[in-house]
Amino acid sequence: MKIGILLVGRASEDLVDKYGTYAEMLINLINSDEKLFEFKTFNILDGIFPLNHNDCDGWIVTGSPHGVYEEHSWIPIVSQLIKDIYDNKLPIFGVCFGHQLIAQALGGNVEKSTKGWGLGLHTYQINNKTNYMGNLSSEVTLNICHQDQVLSPPNGATVYAKSDFCENAGFYIKDKVLTMQAHPEFLVDFIKALLTARRDVTIPKQFVDPALIGLKSHPDSVQSNQFAETIRRFFLN
């Protein structure tokens, strides 16, 4: 199965050199020893787009520091591609910004949250599990880095992940759309480095410092591998 990754964000060069791009992190997360998938990355920020939705068998939209409501020329293009993927019943998975853009493209609402930044370790309650989610626990802890939130998911979406901080943290539509606000691809070392680099630059230290303390105190609590199995099952469903 060939999965196209729409790479819509990038970290600083020093972080990329050490940890890889967001697309490479997702590939490392999803690819099991069996190498069930072939991946092709489209660097959207460099103007590299797929010809159409049929370029791949399934799709992923990555995270990004941008907001889905910002006026960038590539956002309407990717939004239309998401609609085409959905209309043609191809599977699509979105993480963080990707979760938000899929929601917006399919009729949901995304805004900057009045709750402020969510950073570091975060635990979600898992409910309404569908057939490929059998491996998910009733609570899942993943790394987060976001201020925007999906305030209302698209029509027909079922919310399966939520918390007091984020009511619509993950949704699915039938067996062709899966999203997650958190970053299962972010390892603890990477998000510690990312938050340290952004501390009082783009994210106020009063949000960053408690997150760094939590990451230092509970480095083994991230359940990325569990969610990776859900992603694999989604695409193979």
Which residue numbers are catalytic? 96, 183, 185
Structure-token pair, residue 182: 């958190």
To the nearest 5 percent, what fractions of the chain are helix, strand and coil? 35, 25, 40
The torsion angle over the Cα atoms of residues 13, 15, 17 and 21, rounded to 10 degrees, is -90
E-only strand ranges, 55-131: 58-61, 92-95, 109-112, 118-126
CB neighbour list of residue 82: distance below 8 Å, 6 or more residues apart? 61, 92, 101, 102, 105, 106
Asked if residue 64 lies in contact with residue 181, where contact means CB atoms within 8 angstroms, the answer is: no
